[in-house]
Structures are given as C-alpha cells and as structure tokens.
Amino acid sequence: VAGGPELAPADGDQRLPHDSGRDVNEEELKNIGVLYYRIPDLSGVNALASERDYKNRDEITVSPAKMGDIYETKVRSFFDEHLHEDEEIRYIRDGKGYFDVRSKGDEWVRIQLEKDDLIILPAGIYHRFTTDEDNYIQAMRLFKEEPKWTPLNRSGDLDANEFRKAYVSQYWG
C-alpha cells in the first residue's frame, strides 16, 4: 500500500508504478472509507461476504490473453475516474494491479493489490483501476443482487449525486 502522486489520466503510462515514496497506512485508508484486508483463504472471504450480505460473486481475468483485442480499451476505461452508487469489493486471486482512490483534498492515493488482498471501496468515492506492466490480474467481484457497477464518470453534475454527497459528508466532513 503506497501513496502515488497525481497522474495525468491520458499520460500513456498508467501501468507504471508512479510511487511517490510516501507510504499510506491502513488507518489513512480507513479514514476515507477504504477497507483493506489480507485474506489467505476463501473461508475468510466467505465470512466477510456473509457478514455484509453479499450473496453473489464472479471472477474476472484482465489480461490480453483472456480479453484479446478489447484488452487495451478495457484497461483505459477502468482508468477513467468514476464512482459507483454501491460498494466495490474486489478480492485478488492472482496477478497484480492498482486501485487509485481520491483522498481528502482530492489527491490520488495508489493502492497496489496482489494475490490475497481484498479491498472495499465505499459508494461515492472517486477511483480508477489499472493493471501494471505485467498486464495480468485475476479478481473476484462480490455483489449483493444483480451486479450494479455502472461507473459514473467524474463530472461537476455528480456533486449533486446523493451517494457522492453522502460520501463527502461522512468522510470529508
């Protein structure tokens, strides 16, 4: 888990580490509503899922081998800054990747995830995802009912979104 500097969204090298050298600890993540766990086996994930009433899950592999021609487009679109109106839970099964989240004051914090890492992003937080230079990650996606991961891309209009407002008042207050 490490802090990263501001990255230009279209800088062409989103998969490079962009490590600022300033470490961010779990407490700082918790302060912006981001929960991080290291879970070595599936029984731990099952327990967390049942506690939170997450009944469903699937797995996604993000790699050129799995996605073919659409890989580059997909990785670009995961990297568009967005929010969701529900939590986003990802459990990394293999490979590595980066979740960038906006901290208080709107700075990017880059969270490197690898096998056995689980992350919970709260509804309303601005974030984005990218693979790294290895171009390979396999992740379990947990959800409650129907998957509801419609990304709402960042815009001034979203300031009025109720999930965004709830997030800001809870964590930036």
Residues that bind ligand KMT (CB under 6 A): 60, 62, 78, 88, 90, 97, 129, 137, 139, 141, 149
Could you say which of Ni ion, ligand KMT, none residue 90 binds, taking C-beta under 5 to 8 angstroms by partner kind?
ligand KMT
What secondary structure does DSSP assign to 111-142, as a single string? EEEETTEEEEEPTT--EEEEE-TT--EEEEEE
Are 16 and 98 within 8 A, CB to CB?
no
When the beta carbons of 88 and 100 are compared against Ni ion, the nearer one is 88
Both structure tokens of 30: 């918790």
Look at residue 62 and give the partner it binds from ligand KMT, Ni ion, none, a contact being a CB closer than 5 to 8 Å depending on partner kind: ligand KMT
Residue 119 near which of Ni ion, ligand KMT, none (CB within 5-8 Å, type-dependent): none
Q: Least CB distance from residue 139 to ligand KMT, whole Å?
A: 4
Residue ranges in contact with Ni ion by CB under 5 A: 88
Tokens found for residue 145: 């009912």
**What's the closest the beta carbon of residue 94 comes to Ni ion, in angstroms?**
20
Task: Please report, for the chain, how many H helices and E strands are present, in that order.
Answer: 5, 9
Shortest reach from residue 141's CB to ligand KMT, in Å:
6
Q: Which is nearer to Ni ion, 9 or 42 (CB)?
A: 9
Q: Is 28 exposed, middle or buried (0-12, 13-18, 19+ CB in 10 A)?
A: middle
